[in-house]
Amino acid sequence: MNKNVVELYSKVLAEVLNEYELEEAVMFASNAEECVQARQSLIVGLADKGLSDKEIAECTKKMRRCSVCKIRNKYDDRSAPWTVQRCIERIKGIK
């Protein structure tokens, strides 16, 4: 996997975990609302940065490509919770 992709994933993941005050293992294992929103923020934020569904799935090592695709496709910024929107805006500032 490309070093730049892994580095970007690490930065975005750190921002999401900080925003939602979660640990990575909990974020991927739990179906609590804040964990679902954190996963959505991570996936949509990485997709906005240009990563493919396959690259995102490979980085997480916990999600399949079809799950990533489903989350990304169901995201609607007009109806997304404000916490998700705010986190995605913060991710957009990461270089």
Smallest CA-to-CA distance from 95 within 50, 56, 62, 65 is with 50
Domains of the chain: 3-92 (1.10.1750)
Is the per-residue pLDDT at 77 higher than 90?
A: no
Mean pLDDT, the chain, whole residue set? 94
pLDDT digits over 61-75, tens only? 999 999 999 999 999
Question: Which structure tokens are listed for 44?
Answer: 């949509």
Sign for the pseudo-dihedral over CA of 53, 56, 58, 62: negative
| Total-model pTM | 0.94
Q: What angle do CA 50, 28, 77 make, to 5 degrees?
A: 45
68 within 8 A of 43, measured Cβ to Cβ: yes
Rounded-to-integer distance, Cα 47 and Cα 68, Å: 10
pLDDT digits over 39-51, tens only? 999 999 999 999 9
Is the per-residue pLDDT at 6 higher than 90?
A: yes
56 within 8 A of 45, measured Cβ to Cβ: no
